Structure 1
Amino acid sequence: MNDWQIETINLTKVYKGHKVIDKVSMQVEVGSVYGLLGPNGAGKSTIMKMLAGLVRPTSGEVLYQGRPWNREDIPNIGALIESPAIYPNLTAHENLEVYRLMYNISDPQCIPNVLETVRLTDTENKVAKKFSMGMKQRLGLAIALLKSPKLLILDEPTNGLDPAGIEEFREMIRTFPQKGITVILSSHILSEVQQVATHIAILHHGQLQYEAPIVQGEDLERKFREIILSGGPQHV
C-alpha cells in the first residue's frame, strides 16, 4: 500500500458553469515537499482550498491517509492561503493567543515554540500593522503551525517578499519534513519551487499535466515551458 499523506481522485470544481479544476488525481507522499506549479489562473489556489476544507469539490474525492477526508482531519492540516488573517493591532504573541483559544489548544507553550520556528521571537510589543511583508507572512505561517499539523498547505507563500525573506522561507520549509510535516507548496515560478521540493506537479487549464519526484539532472524547465506554452483556452 502506498504511503500518501493526501490524494485526490478525479477532483473537479465548477464555478457558475465554468470548470476551474478538471478531474485532478494527485498523490502527495508522506514526508515530502510537493511543489504544485502552474501559471496564474491555473487553479492552484482552488485545489489548495479544497484540500484544506475551505471549498467543497463539485465532484471527485479527497483522501487523507487513505480514507475519505472529513472535518475531523482539520486539526491535522495547517494552511497559509492568500493573505494571512491577522489582527493588526495585536502583537505576534497576542495574535497567536487568539488562535490558540480558538483552536482549543491547552498548552500555551505552543506559542513560543512556533514563534521560534518562524523567527519572530524578538518582536516583543510590536503590533502586527507595523510588520514588514515578510514578518506578516511568517506570522501567518506561525498560525498555520500552531496546531502541530501533519500536513502544511502553502499557497504562493513568498509572493511580495524580498530576496532575504524568500531565502528565510526556503530554509524553514526544508526543515518541516524532519519534524514530521508534509508540505504542499504552490508557485508559478519553477526555479523557486525546485530549490525546496522533493516532488513536482504541473497544473495547467485546470488539469494535472505532470506529476513526479524530482530527478537529479532532469530538464524540468523545458517540460514546464512546453506544457505552459502548449496553447488552449486559459481558465480564469
Structure 2
Amino acid sequence: MSGVLYLIPNTLGDGDSAALADVLPEPVRARAAALQYYIGENAKTTRAFLKKVGTERPIQEIEIRELNVNTPPGEVEKLLKPILEGTDAGLVSEAGCPAVADPGALLVRRAHERGVKVVPFVGPSSILLALMASGMNGQSFAFNGYLPVDATERGKRLRELEALSRKANQTQIFIETPYRNRALLDTLLATCAPSTLVCVAVDLTLPAETIVTRTVADWKKKAAPELHKRPAIFLLLGA
C-alpha cells in the first residue's frame, strides 16, 4: 500500500517557532513534525522550516529531496518512489501553499496518476489573503503569475488584464520580483484608467504587513508604501 502525500504550507516570511504557530494550526504542525520524508524546493530552507516546526526525530535522519524549476520531469517519478513503497511524505514550498504558483504541482499531478492519496493542509496563501483583504471581487478572479519584464510588453499585458477585468468584473492578481515592485506599480498607475481599483498587499502575515486598495487616481495623489525588496501581491479591478 502506498503512502500519503501531505501538502504542508510554509510561512510567508522569516520568523521563529512562535510566529509559525500564528499561521499553521497545531494538527498541521504535528503532522509535519512526524514525517520522515520531505520534498522541497531547496533542502537548506526545508531543514530550516523543519527546525521551526520541531521534528520528532533528528533532522539529519529525515530524508529531504529537492523539486524545483531545474528538476527534469523524469526525476519526479524517483521522488514518488518512496511514497509508492509505503512512506508518507510532505511537500513543502519556499513560502505559502505548495503546488500553488509552485513547481510542486507536477509532483501532485503524478501522485494522482499513480493512485497516491493527496492531503492538502490549511496554511497561509498570499494570493488568497490579498484577495480577501482587497475588497475586490472574490467570486471571479484570476492569478496571472509574473507579468513581462519588458516595459512595453508589461504595459500591453496590463491593458489586456484591465480590459478583461472591466468586461467580466473579474479581479486580476499578479506578482513581481521584489526589487521590481515599484516599477510595476509605476506602470500600473501610468497604464490603467483613473477609476480602476489597484490593491498592493505587502509582507502578508508579517509584523510589517501593509494592505492598501485605492483607485488609480487616488494612488497618484497619495504616497505609496515602501515596496523595495518586500514580498508583494498586486490586484486590479477595472471599473
**What TM-score results when the alignment is normalised by the length of structure 1?**
0.33
More strand by share: 1
The structure with the largest alpha-carbon Rg is 2
The structure showing larger relative contact order (alpha-carbon pairs under 8 Å, at least 6 residues apart) is: 1
More helix by share: 2
